[in-house]
Amino acid sequence: MDEKLISIAMEIILNAGNARTLISEAGKSLAEFEVDKAEKELKDAHDSILIAHKAQTSMIQKEAEGEKIDSSVLFNHAQDTLMVTSSEYNMTKQLLNVTKSFDERLNKLRKEMSHETNN
- pLDDT band for position 2 (cuts 50, 70, 90): confident
- The contacts found for 4-9 with CB under 8 angstroms, 24 or more apart, are 5/59, 5/69, 5/70, 5/72, 5/74, 5/75, 6/72, 6/74, 8/55, 8/56, 8/58, 8/59, 8/75, 8/78, 9/72, 9/74, 9/75, 9/77, 9/78
Judge whether 82 and 20 are in contact, CB under 8 Å. Answer: no
Task: Output the pTM of the full model.
Answer: 0.87
At 30 the pLDDT is 96
Map out the domains of the chain with their CATH numbers.
3-118 (1.20.58.80)
pLDDT digits (tens, 9 = 90+) for 60-102: 999 999 998 888 999 999 999 999 999 999 999 999 999 999 9
pLDDT digits (tens, 9 = 90+) for 5-59: 999 999 999 999 999 999 999 999 999 999 999 999 999 999 999 999 999 999 9
Catalytic residue at 53? no
107-115: average pLDDT: 88
- Which letter, b or e, does each residue of 12-26 get, where b requires 16 or more Cβ atoms within 10 Å of its Cβ? bbbbbbbbbebbebb
Judge whether 95 and 27 are in contact, CB under 8 Å. Answer: yes
**Statement: residue 114 has pLDDT above 90:** no
Which of the following is catalytic: 46, 53, 77, 115?
Answer: 77
Q: Give the residue with greater pLDDT, 116 vs 5.
A: 5
- pLDDT band for position 1 (cuts 50, 70, 90): low
User: How far, rounded to the nearest angstrom, does the alpha carbon of residue 24 sit from its chain's CA centroid?
Assistant: 9
